[in-house]
Structure 1
Amino acid sequence: MRIIRLLFLMFSFCPLILNATHLIGGEVVYTCLGGNQYEIKVIIYRDCGPTNTNGTGFDGEGVITIYNANNNEVFVLQHGVAEEEFVVDEFTDECLTLPPDLCVEKGTFTVIANLPNNGQGYKVVYQRCCRNEQVVNIDEPQDFGSSLVALIPPISGPACNNSPSFDSFPPLALCLGSDVSVSQSASDVDGDSLVYSLVSPFHGSSNFDPTGTYPPPYDQLPWADGYSEEYPMDSNPVLSIDSNSGLITGTPTQEGFYVIGIKVEEYRNGVYLGEILRDFRFLVVDCEIATAAVPIADVYCDGLDVVFDNQSENAFDYFWDFGDLTSETDNSTENSPIYVYPDSGTYTVTLIANPGSFCTDTSLVTFSLYPNVYPSFSLPPTDCEEGALYDFEGSGIIPEDGDFTWDFGVNAVTQFSNEISPQNISFTSDGTQQISFTVSYLDCEETFEKDFLISTNDLTSISSTAYELCEPQLVTLTPTISTTSNLIYDWDLGNGESSNVANPVVSYEPGVYDVSLSVLNTETGCESSISEETWISVYPQPEVVFQSSILSGCEPLLVNFTSQSTNTDDYQWTVNGQIVGSVENLTYTFDEGDYDVVLTASNDYFCSQDDVFSAEIISLPVVNADFELTYECNEDLEITINDNSESYTDLSWDFGNGEEPTSGLLSSFSYAEEGDYTIVLTASNPAACNTLNTYTSSIAVPAPPVVDFSTLPVADCEVGLVQYQNLSFVSSYDDVLSWSWDFGDGSTSSEFASSHEYVDQGQYNVSLTLETELGCDAFLADNISVGFLQKPQASFTYTIDSCSRKVTFMNQSELSDSYIWDLNGLASDEVNPSMFFEVGNSYAINLIASNEFCSDELSLEIDYSAENYYENVYVPNVITPNGDFINDQFFIPGLNECESAILRIYNRWGDEVYYSIDPNSEPWTGVNYSNELLEGVYFFILELKYMSITGDVSIFR
Structure 2
Amino acid sequence: MKQRRMRGWLLMLMLVLVGLPLLQAGHIIGGVMSYECLGNNRYEFTLRVYRDCNCTMCAQLDASAEIGIYRCSSAGNCEGQSQAQPYGTVSVPLASQSSIEEPDYPCLIPPDVCGQEGIYRFTLDLPVSSSSYFVAYQRCCRNVTIDNLINPDAAGATFMIELTPAAQLVCNSSPSFGTYPPIIICNNAPLVYDHSAIDPDGDMLVYEFCAPLLGGGPDLDPLYYNTCGGASPIPACPPPYNTVTFQAPNYTSTSPMGGNPTITIDPMTGVITGTPQFEGQFVVGVCVSEYRNGLLLSKVFRDFQFNVASCDPTVVADIEEDVQISDQEFVVNSCGDYTIDFVNQSFQQAYIDNFSWVFDVGNGEMATFNEWSPSITFPGVGTYEGYLYLNENTDCGDTARIFVNIYPSIEADFSFAYDTCVAGPVSFTDLSQTGSCCLTDWDWDFGDGQGSGLQNPDHLYQFPGDIPITLTVQDTNDCVASSTQLLNYYPVPALIVIAPSEELACQPAEIFFNNLSSPIDTTYTIVWDFGDGQFGSDISPFHTYEDPGIYTVSVDITSPLGCQTDTTFNNLVTVLPSPVAGFTYAPDQPSNLFPEVQFTDASQGAIAWNWDFGVSPGSQFPSPLFVFPDTGLYLVTQVVSHPSGCTDTVQMIIDVIPEIRYYLPNAFTPNGDGTNDTFRGKGFLEGAREFQFRIWNRWGEPMFETNDPLAAWNGRKNNVGQEAPPGVYLVVVTFKDPRGKPVEMKGYATLIR
Spell out the pairing of 1:753-902 with structure 2 (5 A cutoff).
none
Residue 521 of structure 1 aligns to which amino acid in structure 2? Answer: S
1:149 matched to 2:159: yes
Cα offsets for 1:114-144 (capped at 9, x unmatched)? 455674522421537784x765567897x66
Secondary structure of 1:355's aligned partner = coil
Q: Structure 1 pair 571/290, CA: closer, same or farther in 2 (3 Å)?
A: same
Q: Structure 1 pair 136/278, CA: closer, same or farther in 2 (3 Å)?
A: closer
Partner of 2:483: 448
Shift of 1:514: 5.7
Give, in whole Å, the separation in 1 of the partners of 2:213 and 2:655.
95
Report how many residues are paired: 570
Give, in whole Å, the separation in 1 of the partners of 2:126 and 2:254.
38
1:71 matched to 2:119: no
1:282 matched to 2:304: no
Give, in whole Å, the separation in 1 of the partners of 2:632 and 2:94.
100
Residue 260 of structure 2 aligns to which amino acid in structure 1? Answer: P
Give, in whole Å, the separation in 1 of the partners of 2:548 and 2:150.
96
Asked if the contact 1:321–1:332 (Cα under 8 Å) also holds between the matched residues in 2, the reply is yes
Give, in whole Å, the separation in 1 of the partners of 2:163 and 2:190.
38
Give, in whole Å, the separation in 2 of the partners of 1:66 and 1:53.
30
Over the matched positions of the two proteins, sequence identity in percent amounts to: 17
Partner of 1:323: 360
Q: Structure 1 pair 223/468, CA: closer, same or farther in 2 (3 Å)?
A: farther
Shift of 1:260: 0.6
Give, in whole Å, the separation in 2 of the partners of 1:285 and 1:225.
24
1:305 matched to 2:328: no
Q: Structure 1 pair 284/447, CA: closer, same or farther in 2 (3 Å)?
A: closer
Aligned with 1:112 (options 123, 126, 147): 123
Secondary structure of 1:460's aligned partner = coil
Residue 62 of structure 1 aligns to which amino acid in structure 2? Answer: S
1:526 matched to 2:563: yes
Q: Structure 1 pair 500/529, CA: closer, same or farther in 2 (3 Å)?
A: same
Q: Structure 1 pair 564/201, CA: closer, same or farther in 2 (3 Å)?
A: farther
Give, in whole Å, the separation in 2 of the partners of 1:82 and 1:266.
28
Give, in whole Å, the separation in 1 of the partners of 2:213 and 2:627.
99
Cα offsets for 1:186-219 (capped at 9, x unmatched)? 4555546554324476576799999972244889
Asked if the contact 1:518–1:530 (Cα under 8 Å) also holds between the matched residues in 2, the reply is yes
Give, in whole Å, the separation in 2 of the partners of 1:224 and 1:602.
103
Secondary structure of 2:139's aligned partner = strand
Partner of 1:486: 523
Secondary structure of 1:309's aligned partner = coil
Shift of 1:589: 14
Give, in whole Å, the separation in 2 of the partners of 1:111 and 1:252.
38
Shift of 1:162: 3.9
Shift of 1:389: 11
Q: Structure 1 pair 331/55, CA: closer, same or farther in 2 (3 Å)?
A: farther
Partner of 2:64: 62
Asked if the contact 1:321–1:330 (Cα under 8 Å) also holds between the matched residues in 2, the reply is yes
Aligned with 2:180 (options 156, 169, 179): 169
Shift of 1:366: 4.5
Give, in whole Å, the separation in 2 of the partners of 1:594 and 1:222.
99
Spell out the pairing of 1:467-866 with structure 2 (5 A cutoff).
477-480=513-516, 481-484=518-521, 486-492=523-529, 499-504=536-541, 509=546, 511=548, 516-522=554-560, 524-532=561-569, 533-535=571-573, 537=575, 542=581, 569=608, 584=620, 601=639, 603=641, 604-605=645-646
Give, in whole Å, the separation in 1 of the partners of 2:256 and 2:612.
90
Give, in whole Å, the separation in 2 of the partners of 1:21 and 1:593.
94
Q: Structure 1 pair 238/393, CA: closer, same or farther in 2 (3 Å)?
A: closer
Asked if the contact 2:184–2:309 (Cα under 8 Å) also holds between the matched residues in 1, the reply is yes
Give, in whole Å, the separation in 1 of the partners of 2:441 and 2:281.
69
Partner of 2:210: 197
Shift of 1:499: 5.0
Partner of 1:29: 34
Q: CA RMSD in A?
A: 6.1
Shift of 1:285: 1.2
Q: Structure 1 pair 387/103, CA: closer, same or farther in 2 (3 Å)?
A: closer
Asked if the contact 2:511–2:544 (Cα under 8 Å) also holds between the matched residues in 1, the reply is yes
Partner of 1:213: 232
Give, in whole Å, the separation in 2 of the partners of 1:264 and 1:547.
126
Give, in whole Å, the separation in 2 of the partners of 1:310 and 1:435.
33
Worse overlay, 180-189 or 200-209? 200-209
Partner of 1:461: 497
Q: Structure 1 pair 176/280, CA: closer, same or farther in 2 (3 Å)?
A: closer
Secondary structure of 2:259's aligned partner = coil
Q: Structure 1 pair 535/39, CA: closer, same or farther in 2 (3 Å)?
A: farther
Aligned with 1:41 (options 38, 46, 54): 46
Q: Structure 1 pair 601/195, CA: closer, same or farther in 2 (3 Å)?
A: same
Q: Structure 1 pair 159/194, CA: closer, same or farther in 2 (3 Å)?
A: farther
Cα offsets for 1:207-244 (capped at 9, x unmatched)? 99999722448897787899754698775327454583
Secondary structure of 1:124's aligned partner = strand
Partner of 1:361: 399
Asked if the contact 1:47–1:104 (Cα under 8 Å) also holds between the matched residues in 2, the reply is yes
Asked if the contact 1:130–1:207 (Cα under 8 Å) also holds between the matched residues in 2, the reply is no
Residue 384 of structure 1 aligns to which amino acid in structure 2? Answer: C
Shift of 1:318: 3.2
Give, in whole Å, the separation in 1 of the partners of 2:117 and 2:262.
25
Asked if the contact 2:514–2:540 (Cα under 8 Å) also holds between the matched residues in 1, the reply is yes
Partner of 2:681: none
Cα offsets for 1:375-411 (capped at 9, x unmatched)? 556778963157899999979x999x99999999999
Partner of 1:125: 137
Aligned with 2:284 (options 261, 264, 285): 261
Asked if the contact 1:28–1:41 (Cα under 8 Å) also holds between the matched residues in 2, the reply is yes
Q: Structure 1 pair 375/31, CA: closer, same or farther in 2 (3 Å)?
A: same
How does the TM-score come out when normalised to structure 1? 0.47
Asked if the contact 1:82–1:107 (Cα under 8 Å) also holds between the matched residues in 2, the reply is yes
Give, in whole Å, the separation in 2 of the partners of 1:471 and 1:21.
101
Q: Structure 1 pair 222/456, CA: closer, same or farther in 2 (3 Å)?
A: same
Q: Structure 1 pair 407/234, CA: closer, same or farther in 2 (3 Å)?
A: closer
Shift of 1:614: 9.9
Give, in whole Å, the separation in 2 of the partners of 1:561 and 1:302.
98
Give, in whole Å, the separation in 1 of the partners of 2:289 and 2:443.
90
Q: Structure 1 pair 180/392, CA: closer, same or farther in 2 (3 Å)?
A: closer
Secondary structure of 1:321's aligned partner = strand
Partner of 1:834: none
Give, in whole Å, the separation in 2 of the partners of 1:616 and 1:148.
110
Q: Structure 1 pair 196/541, CA: closer, same or farther in 2 (3 Å)?
A: farther
Residue 605 of structure 1 aligns to which amino acid in structure 2? Answer: C
Asked if the contact 1:163–1:276 (Cα under 8 Å) also holds between the matched residues in 2, the reply is no
Shift of 1:43: 2.5
In structure 2, the gaps of 5 or more residues are 1-24, 71-77, 324-330, 659-685, 688-753
Q: Structure 1 pair 377/221, CA: closer, same or farther in 2 (3 Å)?
A: same
Shift of 1:113: 3.5
Asked if the contact 2:334–2:340 (Cα under 8 Å) also holds between the matched residues in 1, the reply is no
Give, in whole Å, the separation in 2 of the partners of 1:150 and 1:614.
115
Give, in whole Å, the separation in 1 of the partners of 2:307 and 2:445.
69
